[in-house]
Structure 1
Amino acid sequence: MNKYDLITIVGPTASGKTTFACHLAYNIDTEIISGDSRQVYKSMDIGTGKDLDDYIVNGKNIPYHLIDIREAGDKYNIFEYQHDFHKVYTDIKGRGNLPILCGGSGLYVESVLRGYSLVNVPENKELRKKYENHSLSELTEILGSYKALHNTTDVDTAQRAIRAIEIEEYKCSHPLEANEFPPINSLVVGVDIDRELRREKISKRLNARLKEGMIEEIQSILDKGIDPEDLIYYGLEYKYVTLYLLKKLTYEEMHDQLEIAIHQFAKRQMTWFRGMEKRGTKIHWINATMPMEEKIASVKELLNR
């Protein structure tokens, strides 16, 4: 197992990658580092699908990292993630373990695997003022005018689009320095789920989360004084449920628009992972419907080749 410094498990939402990662971690006695851009926030549990019960396997708690490290309402970014990841990664490696990175936020995952050179882009108040009344489609078009697009995977709100433009504008006048972190030699495993099965699981999971109290969870965050725009910024569940709670959408509109948005997000995730492969990352795809024992055996075989 010394050939690799990390195991990475990726896959679209509802593919079962977290459950798989936890069982693998149990089997090889290691720890998990989250690669999810929204699970870093406290109190945002149901909507982000933390499913913390998955981290208990056969009565054993699987150690996990980079979950619940920031307050809801904060604006966590990839620059901060890269630094936080390496602190945890170095600690786990220093204790002689082979960490597992698991998540569906492709940009976050790729940033650490390839050692992206990043800068901590400050807020540009003039730029934000300039674009504050633009529509999402207009902002997306503006973002596309930059030659070195950073990421459009999660740009599903105007705030996120403006932030992406802010990053690109900053990069135009601030050349990136040499990489602070080196690329990581990782075994990358993708959980491949049939499109129709994925759609079915997404729809079932959305209904289950609504029954579990997702609306109440988001209302409780708003009740703490968090600005609704800060929740809308996170997109998907937090965008549409907040709009419903603000009475800008009916329940049916919220449900249907959110369901479509999650399906579109899963499709964009797969597009990102295919892009990673084109950019040189070898992803070993395994079928999501394989029995857990076979999935684990497949990874262990890859490790020992």
Structure 2
Amino acid sequence: MSNLPPHNLLTVLGPTASGKTRLAVALARLLDGEVISADSRQVFRGMDIGTGKDLHEYGTIPYHLINILDAGEEFNVFAFQRLFLAAFEEIRCRKRLPILCGGTGMYLDAALRGYRMVAVPENHELRAELEQRGMEELAELLRNLRPELHNSTDLLDRQRTIRAIEIAQYEREHGHESEPFPDIRPLVIGIRWERSELRRRITERLQQRLEEGMILEVERLHQAGVSWERLDYYGLEYRFIGAHLRGELSRNDLFQKLNSAIHDFAKRQETWFRRMEKHGVKIHWVNGDADPLAETLEIMRQVS
């Protein structure tokens, strides 16, 4: 084991608008790497501005787990882990460096913490029973099965709540049987900004995305058949813009409320990263307002 390199996966994480993609791409160019997205929404085609894909930044750098599903389809952390592990092995087989990049905490956990998630089969009898229950009753049932519930998005969509109950019930009955986890030795880089500067970047980025046509993007998705309920499930930008398009929010209220919600979301991301550290994930923090690329390369030299 002593002859193995200290890491075989480089990870770049940080809150929204922190410059993760730019740093990951710069590292990929220097280190002969390929980027794997750890974002719960960038998997969907047609959801570009609202998810902040910034595909123009990649240039010739290969990327994975972006634009692999049609908007409206279901995607979850189990599917992410399976696809991440496949991409990781594929990139390693090409003798290149996998670079995981994103800010979705559960997805990062699924890649970094060494537990393999179980494929839970559908329980049609249980589903038929749950379909008869109201949303409040379903939410209470899920909380009883999972008192530590941290993924509140499971409570925003009825079918997602039913699936979460199905998984929790299966795990209670069968335990956490799982396949061995691959040998992944991650070096984790986190981008940190001073709070007021991050807030400024978030606001500036939101203004830019609105000017680039984010409202039109959401309108087109709905016209293509994606329901308002499904758009709500896809996160803040789609939820607030959907309310605006339905006449529930003025243009000014849309900006003010969405901007505030994204600031709160960034705080929750930072809380998640601190939780990851408490659970044993070593994060090497670099300063976003300095030279994060140079700092990252120096960290890599120190740990090699």
Length-normalised TM-score, structure 2: 0.88
Aligned partner of 2:190: which letter? G
Deviates more, 1:225-234 or 1:114-123: 114-123
Q: Say whether residues 1:259 and 2:262 are aligned partners.
A: no
CA distance in 1, matches of 2:105, 2:11: 11
CA shift at 1:253, angstroms?
A: 2.8
In the alignment, what sits opposite 1:6? Answer: 9
CA distance in 1, matches of 2:185, 2:67: 27
Give the root-mean-square deviation of aligned CA atoms: 2.4
In the alignment, what sits opposite 1:238? Answer: 238
Quickly say closer, same or farther: Cα 1:295–1:191, change in 2 above 3 A: same
Quickly say closer, same or farther: Cα 1:257–1:129, change in 2 above 3 A: farther
For 1:190, what is the secondary structure of its paired residue?
strand
Q: How does 1:164-183 map to 2 (within 5 A)?
A: 164-182=164-182
1:131–1:162 CA contact under 8 A, matched in 2? no
In the alignment, what sits opposite 2:198? Answer: 198
CA shift at 1:153, angstroms?
A: 6.4
CA distance in 1, matches of 2:20, 2:169: 35
For 1:39, what is the secondary structure of its paired residue?
coil
Quickly say closer, same or farther: Cα 1:162–1:248, change in 2 above 3 A: farther
CA distance in 2, matches of 1:72, 1:261: 23
CA distance in 2, matches of 1:269, 1:258: 16
In the alignment, what sits opposite 2:36? Answer: 33
For these two proteins, the number of residue pairs brought into alignment is 296
CA shift at 1:181, angstroms?
A: 2.5
2:191–2:292 CA contact under 8 A, matched in 1? no
CA distance in 1, matches of 2:189, 2:258: 28
2:153–2:233 CA contact under 8 A, matched in 1? no
Q: How does 1:105-254 map to 2 (within 5 A)?
A: 105-121=104-120, 122=122, 124=127, 126-127=129-130, 129-132=132-135, 134=136, 139=139, 143-147=142-146, 149-152=148-151, 154=153, 157-159=156-158, 164-182=164-182, 184-254=184-254
CA distance in 2, matches of 1:247, 1:211: 20
Quickly say closer, same or farther: Cα 1:238–1:187, change in 2 above 3 A: same
In the alignment, what sits opposite 2:282? Answer: 282
CA shift at 1:192, angstroms?
A: 1.0
Length-normalised TM-score, structure 1: 0.88
1:148–1:168 CA contact under 8 A, matched in 2? no
Quickly say closer, same or farther: Cα 1:80–1:31, change in 2 above 3 A: same
Q: How does 1:40-119 map to 2 (within 5 A)?
A: 40-56=43-59, 61-119=60-118
CA distance in 2, matches of 1:178, 1:192: 35
Aligned partner of 1:297: which letter? L
Runs of 4+ in 1 over 6 A off after TM superposition: none
* Runs (5+) with no aligned partner, structure 2: none
CA distance in 2, matches of 1:49, 1:260: 17
For 2:190, what is the secondary structure of its paired residue?
strand
Quickly say closer, same or farther: Cα 1:128–1:120, change in 2 above 3 A: farther
For 1:96, what is the secondary structure of its paired residue?
coil
* Runs (5+) with no aligned partner, structure 1: none
1:150–1:164 CA contact under 8 A, matched in 2? no
Aligned partner of 1:177: which letter? E
Aligned with residue 16 of structure 1, among 16, 19, 23: 19
